[in-house]
């Protein structure tokens, strides 16, 4: 088995070092028989994200799509050309726990699984109102069988990804679109709160309708 980890990044110099360090730590927890290929896809970066990735010794691609669906797709397909059979997505503003990959392997080993939809934890509530936190917690289902979809914590098999056609070239909700096509094909999806990622609570969105936009709407509705 070979896992391909794909991380899109657009001007993430402030966060990507922690992301990559956490991914490296998670890889070290895997048994030696499992290979891992990690790739960062740098999209229209104008800061020093690239130099940080280079210093970390991580493979990378550069593009100018400004479209997260396209960015994820070229990264995934590049990982597949490097023989990845299982693909794990996270984001450059996120930190994965040390058991992130181990938990995925456990799910794959114990039940038929074509895709795993994990959950996210918020890295800080300090700049958000108490009402936003209350509304978020009321909305979020932190349990097995949840129905949340996060590009920052989404994994799937190479075979099924190629069968459904991969991430669509759309600027937002590319993760939701992919999951819906997996569902339409009747593929086995594990909705797990054991596979977790810590993600940024920043309100400056990279994707127009991404997680930051969701938090912003909660703030505006307080």
What pTM value is reported for the model? 0.91
Q: Which domain holds residue 157?
A: 2-220
Burial 122-136 (b: 16+ CB within 10 A, else e): bbeeeebeeebeebb
* pLDDT tens per residue, range 119-148: 998 876 566 678 777 877 888 899 999 999
- pLDDT number for residue 136: 75
DSSP string of 151-192? GGGEEEEHHHHHHHT-S-S-SS-HHHHHHHHHHHTT--EEEE
Number of domains, the chain:
1
Q: Give me the pLDDT at residue 134, please.
A: 86
pLDDT at residue number 221 = 72
Query: Residue 140: left (phi > 0), alpha (psi -120 to 50), or beta?
Result: beta
**In the numeric block, which tokens belong to residue 158?**
């190479």
DSSP the chain: -EEEEEEEESS-TTTHHHHHHHHHHHHHTS-TTSEEEEEEEEES--SSHHHHHHHTT-EEEEE----HHHHHHHHHHHHHHTT-SEEEE--TTEE--TTHHHHHHHHHHHS--SEEEEEEEES--TTS-HHHHHHHHHH---STT-----GGGEEEEHHHHHHHT-S-S-SS-HHHHHHHHHHHTT--EEEEEEEEEEE---SS-SSTTSHHHHHHHHHHT-
What pLDDT, on the 0 to 100 scale, is given for residue 33? 96
Instruction: Confirm if 87 and 108 have CB atoms less than 8 A apart.
Output: no
The pLDDT value given to residue 217: 65
Map tokens 């039940």 to a residue: 111
Per-residue pLDDT of the chain (222 residues; tens, 9 = 90+): 999 999 999 999 999 999 999 999 999 999 999 999 999 999 999 999 999 999 999 999 999 999 999 999 999 999 999 999 999 999 999 999 999 999 999 999 998 899 999 999 887 656 667 877 787 788 889 999 999 999 999 999 999 999 999 999 999 999 999 999 999 999 999 999 999 999 876 556 566 666 666 656 656 675
CATH number (domain holding residue 6): 3.90.550.10
């Amino acid at each position: 088995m070979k896992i391909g980890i794909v991380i899109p990044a657009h001007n993430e110099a402030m966060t990507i070092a922690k992301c990559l360090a956490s991914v490296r730590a998670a890889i070290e927890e895997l048994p030696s028989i499992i290979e891992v290929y990690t790739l960062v896809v740098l999209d229209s970066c104008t800061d020093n994200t690239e130099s940080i990735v280079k210093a970390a010794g991580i493979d990378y691609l550069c593009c100018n799509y400004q479209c997260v669906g396209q960015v994820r797709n070229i990264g995934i397909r590049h990982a597949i050309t490097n023989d990845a059979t299982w693909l794990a997505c996270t984001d450059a503003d996120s930190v994965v726990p040390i058991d992130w990959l181990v938990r995925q392997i456990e799910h794959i080993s114990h039940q038929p699984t074509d895709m795993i939809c994990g959950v996210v934890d918020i890295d800080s509530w300090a700049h958000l109102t108490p009402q936003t936190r209350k509304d978020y917690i009321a909305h979020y289902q932190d349990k097995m069988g949840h129905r949340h979809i996060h590009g920052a914590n989404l994994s799937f098999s190479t075979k099924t990804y190629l069968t459904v056609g991969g991430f669509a070239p759309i600027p937002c909700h590319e993760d939701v679109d992919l999951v819906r096509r997996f569902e339409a094909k009747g593929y086995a999806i594990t909705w797990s709160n054991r596979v977790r990622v810590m993600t940024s609570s920043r309100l400056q969105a990279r994707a127009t309708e991404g997680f930051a936009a969701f938090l912003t709407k909660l703030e505006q509705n307080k």
